[in-house]
Amino acid sequence: MTTTDPVTTVASPARHHRDTIAGFEVFWREAGPADAPTIVLLPGHPSSSHAYLDLIERLGSRWHVVAPDYPGYGFSEAPADTDWTFDLLADVIKQLLEHLGIGRYVFYMFDFGAPVGMRIATAHPERVAGLISQNANIALEGLGEAVAPLAGWWSDHSGNQATVDGFLSPAGTQMQWEAGLRDPGAADPALWTLDGLLLEQPERHRAAEALLWDYQTNPPSYPAWHAYLAENRPPVLAIWGARDPFFIPAGAEAFRTHQPDAEVVLLDTGHFALVEEVDTVAAHVDRFLERVYG
């Protein structure tokens, strides 16, 4: 396992925005100087940009930080008649960045952030200055045993409905926040309680269930994502909570398989690694951005 000294920064609280992007009212957080190089924080299920508040404060003193909520999650809207797919999420995030006039950026990807960020990166490699993967999987070998119940649901949608119902319940949301943490009590109950309350809203529940179903479209895309890494050789930092039962450390090592210069850092924590290791992650991210942006 790797650790590093915490970064010392002046706290930079987020600013909050809403705008209509691709027909959705999208909420996003922003911090730091608008003319600084940009890092885009892509969140994961079952959460949204509020999971990044501590990281935003640490990075926003030097970098331009943009942290959107996907449609269907957080404080973005969840229209009832939407066909929820990862293609849709990627298109909305791409259009948001175009709307903001941000032509080049580093993606920080967590969980769902991988299928969103990698779709954009493969379509527009010239826009992506670098990739940071924090427990954001792109390889079959990175799928842990905790993903198996969802795979069973994909193979028998109706027969395993109880599996996804439990996954989307308040208890399932808390379980995901605490998964693999050295101290499960380290996760502030406000974090998983907010996510749980939002997921109890019928249209947000429907959006999350549809996206969990659509997640099965991601593994067939892995070879294309691997080819993108090998051909374009973007700078990569794979910083991983090694105790994550969903996306195991082999997923971090997979980045180095396809981009040999990738930096891999394994931390003694779980899926939501920022709960216990935000200072360590922020220090590594800050150094990565220095290297990428000079």
d(CA 37, CA 63): 6
- Name the H helices within the chain: 53-59, 86-99, 113-123, 148-155, 161-167, 170-178, 189-199, 202-214, 222-232, 250-258, 274-293
Catalytic residue among 64, 226, 258, 271: 271
Comparing C-alpha atoms, which of 12, 10, 9, 8 is closest to residue 30? 12
Query: Would you call 271 a catalytic residue per the annotation?
Result: yes
Contacts of 190 by beta carbon, 8 Å cutoff, 6+ apart: none
Count of beta carbons in the 10 Å neighbourhood of residue 266:
16
61 three-class SS: coil
Count of beta carbons in the 10 Å neighbourhood of residue 75:
16
Q: Catalytic residue numbers?
A: 271
